[in-house]
Structure 1
Amino acid sequence: MTYRNPVLDADWSDPDVVRVGDDFYLTASSFSRAPGLPLLHSRDLVNWTLVGHALERLEPAAEFRTPRHDCGVWAPSLRHHDDRFWIFWGDPDQGIFQVNAPAIRGPWTRPHLVKEGKGLIDPCPLWDDETGEAYLVHAWAKSRAGVKNRLTGHRMHPAGTSVLDEGKLIVDGDRIPGWFTLEGPKLYRHDGWFWILAPAGGVETGWQGAFRARDFFGPYEERIVLEQRDTDVNGPHQGGWVRTPSGEDWFLHFQQRGAYGRVVHLQPMRWDDVDGWPVIGDDGAPVREHRLPDLPPQPPAAPATDDDFPGGRFGRQWQWTANPQVGWATHHSGDGLRLACVRTADAHDLRRLPHVLTQRLPGVPSAVEVELTLHGEEPGARAGLAVLGDAFSWIGLQRGSDGDVHLVHRFAEAVALGAPPTPSGQWGKERDADHPRLAPGGRARLRIEIGAGARCRFAYDVGDGLRPSGPVFAATPWRWVGALLGLFALAPAGPGHAGAASFDAFRISPL
């Protein structure tokens, strides 16, 4: 029996993995979305389900009242020590944080700042059973710190609360010919060596490196252990090593796929009998298909996407684009998601709104559908289904000044970096993609067909059958984040309540 990569075909960016008993757990970057730090579970390393999040809200809370799409939680590390789960991550603007819990489903502690500073990213702890010491390694973001391509090591308090020294440069990528953008270190102890598995070369074209030293502070020797070669898996790197109960070794890493974000691959791994270095994939090249891990067979599974919103509650797959506020979604006795039409001055730019409920764009050609009813009576109140990235497009319903509800389809193009601000701010101005038409009863079925290359075709049904709308829209990522599917309801700024919108029967199905 075999499996095919990717094993997680959506944007589970910067994955790290740990085994506890017969269970495997994975977390990933979540940037400024809330809840953050997704928690996935598997028994066979191939079939994964989303079981929760470790971070209910981002802190400091004031920093994440509005979206900061490429900030927040970067490249977490997941570990199990002293009968607790631990997650460390770097916020490039704040420093290194950690949370911990007695069980994967919590309760998780509030974020604790381990080391304050700008540009501190990709931390990974190690509690060394051989020496009794605790260590921490991290990388640097040049955009905040002015330096990159280096790894810094610290002794850490055994409680994981602070570092105990000023830190030492333990790997300098500038001194390794051909290496650049060294980051994402994962720290291990194996066979008498300290090991750092760390990628370099950038997310599009990079490779996975391995470093080893007898002493944590070095000196380290290095080797490239996974690279694209003649495969179609670009930039295979940044992930974590895990060992099964039977002693097999595996490596989970990401591949950057544009608007789809960073999808996750599973590679076989072994330790060379001659020189002791890890060998990942097919002698250092990524595999597309491979025999299954030697683990008990499991039924097919994947993180949930569909949602009937029972009792008005949304599933774990959904995240707000910033810290949520009370009143955005209403619990009730039936099915269906009821979103308040939140008043906002940025009604024409979804990228600036904190109250957009999102989930990941599927990595395979898919059709997305949802049923929408607009209850808001305020002229300008609107709600819809969006594809959200540095450019965005949405289809939905809007209350006109005449009191009627219209089907509308709009988009906004991205503005090149360095371009002067537009009247609507940093990004392009929202425009109509198709002519509005009446939606009797304020209801519509909305559909987006996502084809190859994340090219999106929009359609709607307002009671007379499914009809196409507008031109094809090519989804775009943010700088580090894949494109998102989003549900939203809003109204222009003003006093009082502006009503609500109801979403029902959200479905994603393969094309």
Structure 2
Amino acid sequence: MKKLTTILGLCLMTALPAIAQNYVSKVWVADKGDGTYRNPIIHADYSDPDACRVGDDYYMTASSFNCIPALQILHSKDLVNWTIVNAAVPYALEPIEAVEKPEHGNRVWAPSIRFHNNEFYIFWGDPDQGVFMTKTKDPRGTWSKPVLVKAAKGIIDTTPLWDEDGRVYLVHAFAGSRAGLKSVLAVCELNAEANQAITESRIVFDGHEHHETCEGPKFYKRNGYYYIFTPAGGVVAGWQLVLRSKNPYGPYEEKVVMAQGKSTINGPHQGAWVDTTTGEDWFLNFQDVGAYGRLTHLQPMKWVKDWPVIGVDKDGDGCGEPVLTYKKPNVGKTYPICTPQESDEFNTLTLSPQWQWHANYNPKWIFLAADKGYARLYSYPVVKDYKNLWNVANLLLQKTPSNEFSAVMKLRFAPSPKYFGERTGLLVMGLDYALLSLENTKEGLILSQNECKKADKGTPETVNESVTLKDNTVYLKVTFNKEAKCDFSYSLDGKKFQKLGKQFQAREGQWIGAKVGTFCTRPAIVINDGGWAEVDWFRIEK
């Protein structure tokens, strides 16, 4: 039943409804219900995941690049069942230089989340600006305004370490595209508040000879050793490397502790070591699968002679292989199955937390009519040199949640009667994109299936097939198969769907997987007001 008070402007997550904590996907559940789980534990693009345990709670975050809310926070009790509980940067990444243009692939790279002295910290590297940090006492509450800890072009993938003597160290990598150097790791020291670098960075490891593209370092200390967990070899075919030393600045010994081996899981690396209250060790990492993005895996881990072994070490050489299925972590009790949120009925005061805009948020884009159960997206002018949707900011999108699913939405379009060219629809976004486009034209409402190849290069859309609609309420659907090929269809009654256009091969975006969602735009003309699209619901189904 759709109720609650209508509210204008509260369109990003500030507090999640209790029901969201028990969301269970219809298309991908990792918990098999028999004491075991399957990988990926999250079949969605949470790239470069990092996590920490506080008591019996686990919190995870991941790269969000240009998408807002940024730094989504996920919570789990057992490392298998996760739900989205917040976002550390809900509205805008600063400094705001391009408010209404997506900065594809920029901004938030490979964050780390840590708990120290009763506070949660997230550090991340912005490849064009430097190292940022935000903190909070409550990960479900408000996070502090991000501060620039170390200004530098090309510093990425940052992790702090608080030592027993009170000193604070930060490990990081370099982005070759900005720094002119990659495949090396460096350490600097921060002040006691961890909000300012107090030394220059010192390179502590060079991976050029045997570990090209070492990056994503995570800093830990155990049994007197400083450990840097760092992936190498690239995201598609790489491996997990671990370095250890008695000094934070080295010299470091090295050991490959997980590689694909004979498994079917490519590039198993970059993630977080966590433990349980019962003394087990586990490793959260990602797997790059192309259009579906970088999926989150959970691997068993153990310590042998002060070296970690990740995955299953079948031949006893100290290097494990990733697992597809395994027994669940022993966390002392059993918790209910849940998954990250996917569908949205738009009957609460906030958007469901899986939604992200493609750029910094503008409150003029959306109105949540929670008492009536819809989200109204106002048509917003595209840029004057508009070529396609690649540089449109007000795309409301979410990660793909499985390798087989359908996204279905009920939409009512109310364009302005004063002019033509406003449009809305159902969108699959990436370097190539495709959509069902509902547009008001001189001939009336036209529903078309369009696609755009090489959108990032400015290529215009092409129309594959179109129909004229008399009714402004329509149901739109896209179905993905295991190869990320998409079929589009529409319905006038929500029951019988008619295929429209041709099959589309989804592609990843810039450092992110393909995303699915909606939008509402109008031409770049000067007017006082425009029309809107009302999304009654958006559902992920089999």
AA at the equivalent of 1:235: G
Distance across 1 between alignment mates of 2:279 and 2:412: 54
Structure number with greater CO (CA < 8 Å, separation at least 6) is 2
- Aligned residue in 2 for 1:418: none
Q: Secondary structure of the residue that 1:154 maps to in structure 2? A: strand
Comparing 228-237 with 471-480, greater Cα deviation is found at 471-480
- Deviations 1:138-193 (CA, angstroms, capped at 9, x unpaired): 0000000000000110111120111111121111112xx42100100000010110
1:330 deviates by: 1.1
| Cα distance in structure 2, aligned partners of 1:178 and 1:137 | 20
The structural deviation recorded for 1:63 is 3.7
- Give the distance between the partners of 2:50 and 2:124, measured in 1 at CA: 11
1:300 is matched with: 337
2:458 corresponds to 1:409:
no
For residues 433-462 of structure 1, the C-alpha deviation after alignment (integer angstroms, 9 at most, x for no partner) is 21x212222121000010011100000113
Change (3 A) 1:307 1:347: farther
Q: Determine the C-alpha separation between the residues in 1 that align with 2:306 and 2:522.
A: 62
Matched, 1:455 2:495: no
Alpha-carbon shift at residue 346 of structure 1 (Å) = 5.8
The aligned residue for residue 232 of structure 2 is: 200
For 2:167 and 2:113, the matched residues in 1 are separated by 18
| Structure 1 partner of 2:271 | 239
Residues 1:496 and 2:531 are matched in the alignment: no
1:76 partnered with 2:111: yes
1:419 match:
none
**1:257-281 CA-partner distances (Å, limit 9, x unpaired):** 1011100100000100xx3210110
Name the residue aligned to 1:362: 401
Using the TM superposition, give the Cα deviation of residue 46 of structure 1 relative to its aligned residue in structure 2, in angstroms: 0.1
Aligned match for 2:152, one of 112, 117, 142: 117
Paired AA for residue 325 in structure 2: E
For residue 72 of structure 2, what is the aligned residue in structure 1?
38
Q: How far apart in 1 are the matches of 2:348 and 2:53? A: 35
Q: Distance in 2 between matches of 1:311 and 1:12?
A: 25
SS at match of 2:177: helix
Give the root-mean-square deviation of aligned CA atoms. 1.3
Give, as a single letter, the amino acid of the residue that structure 1 aligns with 2:322: P
AA aligned opposite 1:268:
P
Q: Separation in 2 of the partners of 1:305 and 1:253?
A: 22
Query: How does the TM-score come out when normalised to structure 1?
Result: 0.95
Paired letter, 1:157: N
Counterpart position of 2:133: 98
Q: Match for residue 470 of structure 2?
A: 440
> Which residue matches 1:394?
435
- The answer on whether the counterparts of 1:140 and 1:147 sit within 8 Å (CA) in structure 2 is yes
Aligned to 1:315: 352
- Three-state SS of the structure 2 residue aligned to 1:153 is strand
Of 39-48 and 318-327, more deviation after overlay is shown by 318-327
SS at match of 1:470: coil
Unaligned runs of 5+ in 1: 416-424
What's the CA shift for 1:379?
0.9
Which residue does 1:476 correspond to in 2? 507
Deviation of 1:21 (Å)? 0.5
- SS of equivalent residue, structure 1 residue 351: helix
1:269–1:281 Cα contact (<8 Å) kept: yes
In structure 1, give the amino acid aligned to 2:114.
Answer: R
Identity %: 40
SS of equivalent to 2:261 = coil
Partner of 1:385: 426
- The answer to whether the 8 A contact 1:347-1:491 is kept is no
Name the amino acid aligned to 1:316.
Answer: P
1-structure distance, mates of 2:349, 2:461: 30
Q: CA deviation at 1:311?
A: 5.3
Secondary structure, aligned partner of 1:354 = coil
**Where does residue 429 of structure 1 map in the other structure?**
460
Contact 2:387 2:459 in 1 (8 A): no
Distance in 2, matches of 1:311 and 1:289, equals 36
Paired with 2:120 and 2:100, the residues of 1 have a C-alpha distance of 28
Distance 1:242 1:325 in 2: 37
Q: Structure 1 residues 125, 262: CA separation in 2 closer, same or farther (over 3 Å shift)?
A: same
- Give the secondary-structure state (helix, strand or coil) at the position aligned to 2:390: helix
Deviation at 1:30, TM superposition (A): 0.3
> 2 CA distance for matches of 1:375 and 1:101?
42
Aligned partners of 1:64, 1:270: CA distance in 2, in Å? 46
> 3-state SS of the aligned residue for 1:137?
strand
Residue 18 of structure 1 aligns to a residue in which SS?
strand
Q: Which amino acid is 1:437 matched to?
A: V
Q: How many Å apart are 1:104 and its aligned residue?
A: 0.6
Match of 1:146 among 180, 204, 216: 180
CA distance in 2, matches of 1:497, 1:150: 52
Whether contact under 8 Å (2:478, 2:489) holds in the other structure is yes
What does residue 422 of structure 1 align with?
none
For residue 294 of structure 2, the aligned residue among 262, 271, 279 is: 262
Q: Letter of the aligned partner of 2:379 in structure 1?
A: C
Q: Contact conserved, 1:312 with 1:338, CA < 8 A, in 2?
A: no
Q: For residues 462-503 of structure 1, what are the alpha-carbon distances to aligned partners after superposition, in whole Å with 9 as ceiling and x for unaligned? A: 359311111110100123111111210011122121110111
Structure-2 change in CA distance of 1:406 and 1:311 (3 Å): farther
